[in-house]
Amino acid sequence: MSDAPCIHWTESDQPHHARWRSLADVPAPRRVVKADDTLSADAAYRLVCEGTGLLWQGDFHQARQMLQALARRIDRRAERARRPATERAAVALTQDLTQVYHQHRRAQAERARLLGLLLLPFDADHRVPLRRAPDVREACLAAHGDVDGPYVASLRELQGLIGAHEWRKKGVPVAALGDRIHPHHGVFSPVRGEYLDLVRDAPLPVALTAQGAQGEAWDIGAGTGVLSAVLVHRGVPRVVATELAPRALACAQDNLQRLGLDSRVTLLQADLFPPSEPGRPARAALIVCNPPWLPGQASSAVERAIYDADSRMLRGFLAGLAAHLLAGGEGWLILSDLAERLGLRSREQLLGWVAAAGLVVAGRLDIRPRHGKAQDRDDPLHAARSAEVTSLWRLTAAT
């Protein structure tokens, strides 16, 4: 906490400062002013558009209403910017989806930046010292841990971590498990069940089943631990799961313990494949990886499960797979083709990486998405999302 940046403001001609905390690593606003219930939404909107942070000192529920009012103004401005393209239907129909995608991401980032400028004070025990503020200490403690003094954070981020804490308590139902997975804050939730169905239904490689009770599978990038759990649920005797992020490791451990599967899954902090150590197999009969599906720069911890700069994890998995497979073993790559439909990566490029890694495609299982955005015609990316296919690529070492 002592290394956290500070924000500064003036009150009654006296300088004040407070620690700044952002789980999304958003930089502290350079200019901050006090704000309360007397500030109009139009004035607040002008201030945030200038990059000014609004440190709220009034009623908590009024702060929530102010955030909603700011969101409406931001969305109206975005709608006005889109309207000419919508009216020119002939242009819109032929618009480059790659361009639409990048415009959409920029608009999302700008919306998040502006809404993130409505700030709240927090005491050292994570209490919000405002009128009618809810008790958010449990949710903040789960996300931030213990802190050594008061701090300031954005209301929007608080709402996000409260929502994440509710997901953690209630869990996400996973049909492939017949049970629930409890995601922690900053760890991507397995809400898209179709890719889990692929792992549940794909035929296990002969090399794995031939090993009997000694059979071992690897789960690269464990996240919540859901894929490891599905593999054990299918009867895989032992799973070694790797994960680099400490939050995700703790989340996977928690879920595997909840499910009573922790004795059959070994969690290791590693980047991609398990490190070579005496007594640990250097190869596995089945290696599963569900890398981020879109090449791009992540803006928060949870986005690292979606965006991967230069497809680093995907390329690293493919490049090292053949050297870690047992004879007759398979690597399962779970990947959506959304990046291809958005023009961010081509199928030829993907297959080129596969061939260059000394791999061949032994088979592929496909499934269509079931999430709501696939049916949302108001989504700027609807043309790509509605046609999206998620695949489990069965890869083997070339002979």
What are 98-147's pLDDT values in tens digits? 888 888 888 889 999 999 999 999 999 999 999 999 999 999 999 999 99
Q: Which two tokens mark 22?
A: 């952002």
What is the mean pLDDT of the segment spanning 65-74?
A: 96
Length of the chain: 399
Per-residue pLDDT at 2 exceeds 60: no
Per-residue pLDDT at 85 exceeds 80: no
Per-residue pLDDT at 8 exceeds 60: yes
CA separation for the pair 374, 359 (Å, rounded): 32
Q: Which residues contact 42 (CB under 8 A, 6 or more apart)?
A: 73
Banded pLDDT at 87 (limits 50, 70, 90): very low
pLDDT at 81: 66
Phi, psi of 45 (to 5 degrees): -65, -40
Q: Give the best-scoring range by mean pLDDT among 84-98, 176-190, 208-222, 250-264.
A: 250-264
Q: Pairing relation of β-strands 179-181 and 172-174?
A: antiparallel
Per-residue pLDDT at 334 exceeds 50: yes
Q: What is the mean pLDDT of the chain?
A: 90
What is the mean pLDDT of the segment spanning 63-91?
A: 75
What is the mean pLDDT of the segment spanning 219-233?
A: 96
| Total-model pTM | 0.87
pLDDT at 286: 97
Per-residue pLDDT at 75 exceeds 50: yes
User: Over the stretch 347-385, which tens digit does the pLDDT of each residue have?
Assistant: 999 999 999 999 999 999 999 887 766 667 777 777 888
Per-residue pLDDT at 69 exceeds 90: yes
Per-residue pLDDT at 88 exceeds 50: no
pLDDT at 93: 43
pLDDT at 1: 44
What is the mean pLDDT of the segment spanning 334-357?
A: 94
Per-residue pLDDT at 387 exceeds 90: no
Domain boundaries, the chain: 6-167, 171-397
Per-residue pLDDT at 38 exceeds 90: yes
Fold of 171-397: Rossmann fold (3.40.50)
User: Over the stretch 282-311, which tens digit does the pLDDT of each residue have?
Assistant: 899 999 999 998 988 887 777 888 889 889
